[in-house]
Amino acid sequence: MTQMNTILVVNAGSSSLKFQVFGIGTKNNLNRLIKGQMDGIGTRPRLRASGADGVVAIDKTFLPEQVCDLATAIQETAGWLRGTQNFELIGVGHRVVHGGPEYSSPVLIDSEMVTRLERYTPLAPLHQPNNLAPIRELLARRPELPQVACFDTAFHRGHSAVADHFAIPERFYAEGIRRYGFHGLSYEYIAQRLREVAPAVADKRIIVAHLGSGSSMCALSNGRSIDSTMGFTALDGLPMGTRPGQLDPGVVLYLLTEKSMDPAAVQKLFYQECGLKGLSGRSNDMRDLQSSTEPRDIFAVDYFIYRASLCAGMLAAALGGLDAFVFTAGIGENSPIIRARIAEKLAWMGAALDPALNTAGEFKISRPDSPVALYVVPTDEELMIAQHTLALLAKHTGQHVRKTA
């Protein structure tokens, strides 16, 4: 039997390795074959994966020393894929959080490219090193296998100069200190998906709220990003699981000078100890906090809702009005409580939630007479990466990349 040509999509984090395998059809259409992840790396490693039909393909736990770091997680996962799956891998697509000022579209990767992308590690210390680790591993083991970097910053690169600049001397902008925006792969997918499922509003003024452990919002006009709550790094904007969101830069100066904290300690504080975790004093998980009666937990949720409503007002101003609001990502897709509370804050703009539709998790959750339509649209960054990878491979080969029947 002829092997099916496939694309592997990799999204590597500090304690998890997410992956998906997509088969390539006769017209270069993509079909999800496998979805899985290795999580608990170094603590409680567990490899799980299921097929397109939802049937579990593997659910295996390891001792901490067996999968102690991302490199061994990559090796274990790759070994399982090679040993059990009958497909021909023709390319690998990677989520890379920061593309800096250089990269506004997906690119084929080589060793020199990895070195250039390492320069942006200080701008995304939680993400960039882990995004690049599997790329290095594959370059060493499979140098002939094409790899494609898809950047979370790329979708926002069309912002106007006014939206991109900070009010600092121009020389810093020229060096790359500017507002990049993140979660671009998610927003790009949502913009694409809306053209399919809600064409009447897809080209109008839309705010997309990507609410999860990392959270941001994006203003879309005619399907393009015109502004975002995140900026130079993924710390800005909305409060997140462990990141503070919008912060007076004077706080940083105060911590450095008056509290005598060194830069490494400040970085750890802002990336790992703030946000919902810092406010509640215990948890970065919205599921725990929204069901709690502890005063600090309640305050953390209230703060999240308040800041989300402020950011929505800011983006509505950038758009000159609002026609639709979309919830996506872990919290946005799965928490009717948070959706309802944010929608209540949007009532002044004309948003009118239908509680029953919201509780049921329907696609459209606003009332029929609501001037601002409210939607829940599950994101699919991995499919977006697979599409970009396939398109770039096809462009470089000059033909359909699928060679099998």
- The residue length of the chain stands at 405
Query: Vertex 297, ends 293 and 298: CA angle to 5°?
Result: 65
Fill in the amino acid letter for 172: F
**Pairing relation of β-strands 87-96 and 4-12?**
parallel
Token readout for 293 is: 């009666």
**Alpha-carbon gap, residue 165 to 16, rounded angstroms:** 34
CA nearest 160: which of 219, 119, 211? 219
Are the C-beta atoms of residues 316 and 350 closer than 8 Å to each other?
no
Angle between helices 295-319 and 336-345 (to 10 degrees): 50
CA distances from 185 to 37, 180, 191, 268 (A): 19, 13, 10, 26
Are the C-beta atoms of residues 76 and 41 closer than 8 Å to each other?
no
What are the catalytic residues? 152
Half-sphere exposure of 173 (CA within 13 A, CB side): 11
CA distances from 31 to 55, 89, 157, 346 (A): 16, 14, 29, 37
Distance between alpha carbon 260 and the CA centroid of its chain, in Å?
A: 34
Residue with tokens 């005598």: 260
**Pairing relation of β-strands 373-376 and 324-328?**
parallel
Task: Measure the N-to-C terminal CA separation of the chain; round to a whole number of Å.
Answer: 10
Residue 189, SS3 per DSSP: helix
Token readout for 99 is: 């593309």
